[in-house]
Amino acid sequence: MVCFDGAEYATNPLLCCSVPTCRMRVHLACYGSGTDSMPLMPYKKRSKWVCDVCTLEKKHATELTPNSARVCVVCKMSGGVVKPTKADNTVCHLVCVRWLPELKQVPSEVQATSSVVDADLLFGTRKSLKCHICHKRNGCLQCMSKRCTKAFHAVCALRALESKVYTGVTEANHLACICDSHFADVRATYRSIKDVFWDQPYLGTEVDLEEDDEPTAAAPS
């Protein structure tokens, strides 16, 4: 997932790729379409939804890659919600896109209604940073405390225990990553975000909904 909110909303359905080797789960709004105006997907089409990566692989008649084997070009970690990048045969975590502000989704030149990640925008300095959790380099963000040199992969930080690294959103709706040495910087007004689903792969089966069977939850304001 990207936002790590497992709830279903009437205006923002939770999708699951119908390819058995993928089963990627993501909210429609989190996945994005590469356009300013993204139409809502009819609920009856949810069970037939195919993610952009599987769509490209099918189009080029290549063997479908299990999602667990897809390696993000930015953080070099596998699995999770990924999008194709501008370069051929590469993918990028949307979590990396969300937490590394220089990364952007741009309209795809191959699929008119889809988007790809421009991974070339990654700051070169991030490639030398070493993750404090997995001790590997590439595509890290740093603790938001001034002059702190501790760095983390977004995926590692979000999966780590809160006693290791805090990840959340400030009252100004800015993403916050704070290492254990600077927990004093975490305010009570911040909202914690953690990936509690990463070791719980979705194995269920999506079913078509009748036209009147729509989720009743309202999207948060």
pLDDT of residue 144: 95
- Pairing state of beta strands 140-142 and 165-169? unpaired
Residues of the chain short of pLDDT 70, as ranges, are 1, 33-45, 198-221
* pLDDT score recorded for residue 36: 42
Q: Give 115's strand partners.
A: 107
pLDDT of residue 202: 46
The domain ranges of the chain are 138-196
Q: What does the pLDDT read at residue 203? A: 40
Q: What pLDDT score does 5 carry?
A: 80
Task: Please give the helix or strand (H or E) that residue 159 lies within, else none.
Answer: helix 154-159
Residue 35 three-state SS: coil
What's the pLDDT at 120? 95
> What Rg value do the Cα atoms of the chain yield, rounded?
18
What value, to the nearest 5°, has the Cα angle with vertex 74 and ends 71 and 80? 45
CB-CB contact of 191 with 220 (8 Å): no
Contact between 15 and 47 under an 8 Å Cβ cutoff? The reply is: no
CA–CA separation, 144 and 183 (whole Å): 11
pLDDT of residue 206: 40
SS3 of 69, please?
helix
25 vs 208: CA distance, rounded Å: 16
Q: How high is the pLDDT of residue 205?
A: 40
* Matching residue, tokens 């909110």: 5
pTM, two decimals, is 0.83
For residues 58 and 45, give the distance between their C-alpha atoms in angstroms, rounded to a whole number: 19
Instruction: Tell me how far apart the alpha carbons of residues 86 and 109 are, in angstroms, rounded to a whole number.
Output: 9
The residue count for the chain:
221
CA distances (Å), origin 25, targets 14, 186, 210: 7, 30, 21
